[in-house]
Structure 1
Amino acid sequence: MPMPITAPFEGLKDVVAFEQQAEDVWLSKNSIYEAFCQTAERFASKVALTALPSGDPLGEGVSISFDQLLRGANQAANMFLGAGLERGETVCHLLPLSFQAFYTLLGAEAAGIVNAINPLLEPEHILGIAEAANATILVVPGSSLNEEVWQKASYVIDNLPSLKAVFVLGGGLECDGIKIFDFDEALSRQPADHVHQKEPGQLDDIVGYYHTGGTTGVPKLAPHTNRMQLIQMASTGFLMGVSEQDVMVAGLPLFHISGSIVSGLVPLMAGGTLVIPSPLGFRDPLVIGNYWRIVDKYRVSILGAVPTMLSALLNIPVGDADISSLRAGMTGGAAAPVEVLKAITEQTGVPMLEGYGMTEVTSFTTLQPRDGEVRFGSVGIRGPYVAIKAVLLDENGDISREADVNEIGVIVMRGTCVMPGYVQQVHNRSAFLAEGWINSGDLGRIDEDGYVWLTGRAKDLIIRSGHNIDPSLIEEALHEHPAVELAAAVGKPDSYAGEMPIAYVQFKPGAAATEDELKDFARERIAERAANPSDIHIVSEMPLTGVGKIFKPALRADATRRVFLQELSILDGLRDGYDVQVDNHPSLGMVARVELNDPQNSDLESQIKNQLGRFTTQHQIVWKVG
């Protein structure tokens, strides 16, 4: 018998002990579908999903058992196969959180490949993703559920000739009975006992595509295989210590691995229960406002949230809600401010554990030890069956050596959880290093106990609320303006979203434009709304490297300085003459040094700590007087 995934996790020694059982133990089933069939048989009558009524998260929910979830997945798989889905083809969907979304997730993986797409993307991006994924089946909400998403779906339908069938949730007049069908009606006509006309799944079959964020072209598609997902059911399951006794709120979107894997398949495979709080998930303000009462009512055991949600929950009093069912909190997707982690830990009485992973490595690859020492600011210790190290790269981008203990380097990973390569092959040269190591693009250090500390990013991605924004999307739009000679986009610190995109602009000689004019110009040309720059700063000369490239670390430092100066300006009792300098610390990464011309004052120091502690960028206070 394999070691239970609820085995203790106090430190690296427990990870090593878990790895004493071969990976093959967890790969005895050839597919996620087969593994879920086993789970459904074991927990047949137990509640798998509970969906709360839209607009009333404290109303009476509707529940389905594991057996009913499997039957719905079988029907979905048969529906897709009956519509002509063949090997290597994909079911793309833009569904809200619902039973049908989980039927589609499991059913599409059973019959072929699933690809959930962010419905907030522009129609051209959605179409590009569907084309890259070789989509032949589309599943979307109808106009009665979401008119805006239906209009985007209509654009895809009109411009994707490979489509064999479209299934519409809440379908009405959209359905023609020829190519476009009502999802629920078509589902009801399918056999539910097993998947028909299906070849047995294999470990290295691709079963999912996940897009990695908006770019100037089509977002990169990372494939997931059965092998990748199965090993992460064990590894992430061990890190979380998940079991059939756990209940999680499933409020994260299925187009992200946090929603589909971490708070989706991992707890479901272990026999846990998911509570769907709203079709919009955590984007529904009613859910956030009533979160603690949802925990109380459904005895939620794991608080799973992205950092922006944690910040929002700090503004929601627990009140008389009984949250004693919580055993741990887990967060990832973007850097979480240390003060937020400490505050939410104090508010809930359970440790808020920060973890780290990537779409390209399936799920969490590190997590703070749930039974051991929580070191706030770290993303924890590696999980089973994955190797992680910090390395130094040479001028060609190849590994020159492994970083020493606590020396900052580029974080790289290797293991069964790592994808075979992007669908678009052009991206793979920069993604992979020698001997199968994947380049995360993140800078960090690993301490003597195996804790990983992220200190910055070697790549330029801006991460807004866990959403990856390629800065070139902003830069190329601004370069179209006739007055712009150079444009560079970076992220500025934001206490809620982690980062917000901003841009710096240098004009051509003799040219000029206002910041508002540039923002309007960019807004008209940037397809992804989340990428619209919140600020545009006009500079006389862009900082450059010795070979003439824009030196973005200087821009990020300037952006941080501007934000922190603004935050300090609203504090009472702070004298004039203070300043903020942003430098790179050898082990902490970017650090803001607050220089004060005041006599040392504990009350003022506390105010500054509270004001700046909401940001992920660390700060230090230097008293020049006193």
Structure 2
Amino acid sequence: MSQYRPADYRNTGPESLPAVESIPLSERGLPPSTYQLFCDLAERYEDRVALRFLMQGTPDETPTDYSYRELCQRITQTANALHHLGVGATDTIGILLPNLPQTEFALWGGEAAGIINPINPLLEVEHIAAILNDTACPVLITLAPFPGTELWQKALELKTQVPSLHTIITVDPAAFLPAGMRDAIDQQRGSYLGDGVLDFDTFISQYNDAGLDSGRQITQTDIASYFHTGGTTGTPKLAPHNHLNELACAFQISTACNMEEGYVILIGLPLFHVNAVFTGLSAWMCGGEVLLATPQGYRSPEVMKNFWPLVEKYQVTLFSAVPTILSGLLNFPTAGFDLSSLKFAVCGAAPLATELARQFEKQTGLVLVEGYGQTEGTCVSTLNPRFGDRFIGSVGAPVPYLKIRIVEVDEKTGALLRDCDTNEAGIIAISGPNVFNGYKHPEQNEGQWIEPGWFNTGDLGRLDERGYLWLTGRSKDLIIRGGHNIDPQMIEEALFQHDAVAAAAAVGKPDPRVGELPAAYVQLKPGADVSETELLAFCEEHIPERAAVPKRILFIDAMPLTAVGKIFKPDLRNHITELTVSEVLAELGVKSYGLNVRIDKQHGQAVTVTLTDSSQAHAVKEALGQYAFKSEVA
């Protein structure tokens, strides 16, 4: 049994929380830092496999394994290498990497030396440079030149745009390939080391693996990481996590999921995202094993194609995914594979369509645990219980030691007005040991705290009689595409640069595969004439984040406005949902129907279709069930 997870706790729902919370978290024996956790785990589990890496994602390849002792040694060497580069406790290490073992070494070794800043490799250079400049980053760890990747070229551009950046440490994925392939890649790329560019493996191998050369005594209140979050402006917000935030989060996940020693968790989500980072840490906290499935994770066709064979071969216990991954896995039958090791799957980061959840559980026989969280809460706030009542559509109950309130706030100041009643929708506020203390820049914290210690998530929801949370909307207006947060203002600001545009409003267009796709409503200036094709091309040129480029531009005579003159986006969301549903019905050959799209206080966006021909009801229900909005067919 893990030394951290309560031995006698079984998560059956909100009613079981008092049992675990009767002992204060401060008495649970959590170490002072993530580094000390790895030292303790190495001493406890020694040669047990901690990390297993698959370069290609095929069942017949030989994995690269690291024991708990070896993992701690690599983390220690990384920390010492960074220390000898001059990285101190308040310095930032930028990490721009796919999923590799060295990414894990960099994450946790970086926290032992200074403050890590994992960055989405798919962001454009300008966006990455803004993040690195915000932290005055001196060291960037990224990918060596490698076929089919752009990170090395991005790193060269960043070196000219980030004045503080003096060292680039490169990780070479070719090290995991057969000798012949490595030689071919070396010949193709030529020399790239030198002049402030180092090779990760060669560099860290020079340093002590038995303890921190810095002698640093890390405390739970020291800042461990900066994770960037889109927020509601075009400038990235940096959310600092201290060591207690991260340790508490790992404890909460492992406890709420009732993880046990020997659990194998497959990581396919990217390691710049809090989900992958802290679900992995929670498995290690319990003496489990992390299976890192290729540098691309779920983006690798091989991983998706071989997912069930990999589960069988490596006896995977659980995995975490977003709805788009679950939808993709439905294309690969489970028949013929022994999946008895698989206990459950966790889904979060984007709304889960009811029909998708039902189909996935039916086809796989798995328990699907839906959760909810945010970067500001380190990772997770709620999870459905494995052993209690799970309600499809609910994101579950608070994890241990995390408190939730549903409140009404002043729209201008963010000040608390009142707590909402049971089943009354309002703003979701969270408080707990995993909740950060505020964004890096003080001005970004204005209106974010309803009371000291209580963070306004910007999400809308309700708590039912038993304490389960149901999401009803997002006041932040973020567009969530396959778990990736897209800032609508980024799209709107780009469109405003066009001479013909008088007003622009970006919203999410419902999509059965990725949840939402970016779309924009545009009001033209009097006398202006421009086509949708021209504006889409303009967006491609002026929006730095590719995933944020809208898929549709819809022209509107006048924007719907609130009493104070703000664009009223709920009307636009209802309109684009109505268009989407109409397209679905047209594809099904439904010609006569009534359609009502609205914002429901309990369920968020809701759709009711009234059919003239009831024989079409089943097909319509099945089609609309693929979307995240609540649908009813009459």
The TM tier, using the shorter chain, reads: over 0.9
Please state whether the residue corresponding to 1:608 is helix, strand or coil.
helix
Partner Cα separation in structure 2 for residue 181 and residue 64 of structure 1: 23
Shift of 1:585: 2.0
Partner Cα separation in structure 1 for residue 524 and residue 89 of structure 2: 52
Does structure 2 retain, via aligned residues, the 8 Å contact 1:76–1:104? yes
Shift of 1:23: 1.2
Partner of residue 63, structure 2 = 61
Change in Cα spacing, 1:523 to 1:214, as seen in structure 2 (3 Å) is: farther
Partner of residue 579, structure 1 = 594
Partner of residue 182, structure 2 = none
Partner Cα separation in structure 2 for residue 223 and residue 502 of structure 1: 31
Shift of 1:446: 0.4
Give yes or no for the alignment of 1:23 onto 2:35. no
Residues 457-476 of structure 1 aligned to structure 2 (within 5 Å): 457-476=474-493
Shift of 1:223: 0.7
Partner of residue 609, structure 1 = 621
Q: Name which of 329, 333, 344 aligns with 2:349.
A: 333
Change in Cα spacing, 1:240 to 1:5, as seen in structure 2 (3 Å) is: farther
Does structure 2 retain, via aligned residues, the 8 Å contact 1:58–1:294? no
- % identical aligned pairs: 40
Change in Cα spacing, 1:89 to 1:5, as seen in structure 2 (3 Å) is: farther
Residues 610-625 of structure 1 aligned to structure 2 (within 5 Å): 610-622=622-634
Partner of residue 278, structure 1 = 294
Q: Name which of 236, 245, 250 aligns with 1:233.
A: 250
Q: Report which stretch shifted further, 362-371 or 171-180.
A: 171-180
Give yes or no for the alignment of 1:288 onto 2:304. yes
Residues 455-604 of structure 1 aligned to structure 2 (within 5 Å): 455-572=472-589, 574=590, 576-598=591-613, 600-601=614-615, 604=616
Q: Report which stretch shifted further, 584-593 or 452-461.
A: 584-593
Q: If the length of structure 2 is used for normalisation, what is the TM-score?
A: 0.94
Shift of 1:577: 2.5
User: Per-residue displacement from partner, 1:214-258 (whole Å, max 9, x unpaired)?
Assistant: 876431110110111111122111111112221111111111101
Partner Cα separation in structure 2 for residue 198 and residue 118 of structure 1: 32
Shift of 1:142: 1.0
Q: If the length of structure 1 is used for normalisation, what is the TM-score?
A: 0.95
Partner of residue 389, structure 2 = 373
Give yes or no for the alignment of 1:164 onto 2:160. no
User: Per-residue displacement from partner, 1:348-393 (whole Å, max 9, x unpaired)?
Assistant: 2121010011000012111001110111000000111111011112
Structure 1, gaps ≥5 residues long = none
Partner of residue 346, structure 1 = 362
Does structure 1 retain, via aligned residues, the 8 Å contact 2:95–2:141? yes
Please state whether the residue corresponding to 1:13 is helix, strand or coil.
helix
| One-letter code aligned to 1:203 | Q
Does structure 2 retain, via aligned residues, the 8 Å contact 1:357–1:364? yes
Residues 350-499 of structure 1 aligned to structure 2 (within 5 Å): 350-396=366-412, 397-499=414-516
Partner Cα separation in structure 1 for residue 198 and residue 96 of structure 2: 15
| One-letter code aligned to 1:20 | S
Please state whether the residue corresponding to 2:28 is helix, strand or coil.
helix
Shift of 1:300: 0.5
| One-letter code aligned to 2:310 | I
Shift of 1:336: 0.7
Shift of 1:5: 6.2
Does structure 1 retain, via aligned residues, the 8 Å contact 2:621–2:632? no
Coordinate RMSD, CA, aligned: 1.7
Does structure 1 retain, via aligned residues, the 8 Å contact 2:371–2:384? yes
Partner Cα separation in structure 1 for residue 5 and residue 496 of structure 2: 56
Partner Cα separation in structure 2 for residue 399 and residue 259 of structure 1: 33
Partner of residue 324, structure 2 = 308
Shift of 1:163: 2.3
Partner Cα separation in structure 1 for residue 260 and residue 275 of structure 2: 18
Q: Name which of 187, 208, 214 aligns with 2:204.
A: 187
Shift of 1:134: 2.9
Give yes or no for the alignment of 1:209 onto 2:211. no
Does structure 2 retain, via aligned residues, the 8 Å contact 1:456–1:589? yes
Change in Cα spacing, 1:6 to 1:242, as seen in structure 2 (3 Å) is: farther
Shift of 1:492: 1.0
| One-letter code aligned to 1:584 | I
Partner of residue 130, structure 2 = 128
User: Per-residue displacement from partner, 1:555-603 (whole Å, max 9, x unpaired)?
Assistant: 000111111111111215x3x22232211223222101112222x33xx
Does structure 2 retain, via aligned residues, the 8 Å contact 1:3–1:18? no
Partner Cα separation in structure 1 for residue 78 and residue 622 of structure 2: 51
Q: Report which stretch shifted further, 214-223 or 370-379.
A: 214-223
Please state whether the residue corresponding to 2:447 is helix, strand or coil.
helix
Does structure 1 retain, via aligned residues, the 8 Å contact 2:460–2:474? yes
Q: Report which stretch shifted further, 178-187 or 487-496.
A: 178-187
Does structure 1 retain, via aligned residues, the 8 Å contact 2:611–2:617? no
User: Per-residue displacement from partner, 1:21-61 (whole Å, max 9, x unpaired)?
Assistant: 11112354211111121112111111111111326354221
Please state whether the residue corresponding to 1:378 is helix, strand or coil.
coil
Partner Cα separation in structure 2 for residue 284 and residue 19 of structure 1: 41
Shift of 1:149: 1.0
| One-letter code aligned to 2:300 | D
Shift of 1:619: 0.9
Partner of residue 177, structure 2 = none
Partner Cα separation in structure 2 for residue 215 and residue 94 of structure 1: 23
User: Per-residue displacement from partner, 1:143-177 (whole Å, max 9, x unpaired)?
Assistant: 12554111111111222222232211129756443
Partner Cα separation in structure 2 for residue 145 and residue 101 of structure 1: 19
Shift of 1:395: 4.2
Partner Cα separation in structure 2 for residue 274 and residue 6 of structure 1: 24
| One-letter code aligned to 2:608 | R
Residues 91-170 of structure 1 aligned to structure 2 (within 5 Å): 91-144=93-146, 147-170=149-172
Partner of residue 41, structure 1 = 43
Partner of residue 181, structure 2 = none
Change in Cα spacing, 1:214 to 1:182, as seen in structure 2 (3 Å) is: farther
Partner Cα separation in structure 1 for residue 339 and residue 202 of structure 2: 40
| One-letter code aligned to 1:582 | V
Change in Cα spacing, 1:80 to 1:146, as seen in structure 2 (3 Å) is: farther
Shift of 1:293: 0.7
Q: Report which stretch shifted further, 171-180 or 75-84.
A: 171-180
Change in Cα spacing, 1:446 to 1:5, as seen in structure 2 (3 Å) is: farther
Please state whether the residue corresponding to 1:430 is helix, strand or coil.
coil
Give yes or no for the alignment of 1:83 onto 2:85. yes
Q: Name which of 69, 73, 76 aligns with 1:74.
A: 76
Structure 2, gaps ≥5 residues long = 174-185
Does structure 2 retain, via aligned residues, the 8 Å contact 1:168–1:175? no
Partner Cα separation in structure 2 for residue 2 and residue 222 of structure 1: 26
Shift of 1:6: 7.1
Does structure 2 retain, via aligned residues, the 8 Å contact 1:57–1:277? no
User: Per-residue displacement from partner, 1:277-310 (whole Å, max 9, x unpaired)?
Assistant: 1111111111011111111110111131111100
Does structure 2 retain, via aligned residues, the 8 Å contact 1:362–1:419? yes
Change in Cα spacing, 1:47 to 1:10, as seen in structure 2 (3 Å) is: same
Shift of 1:426: 2.0
Change in Cα spacing, 1:114 to 1:174, as seen in structure 2 (3 Å) is: farther
Does structure 1 retain, via aligned residues, the 8 Å contact 2:318–2:344? yes
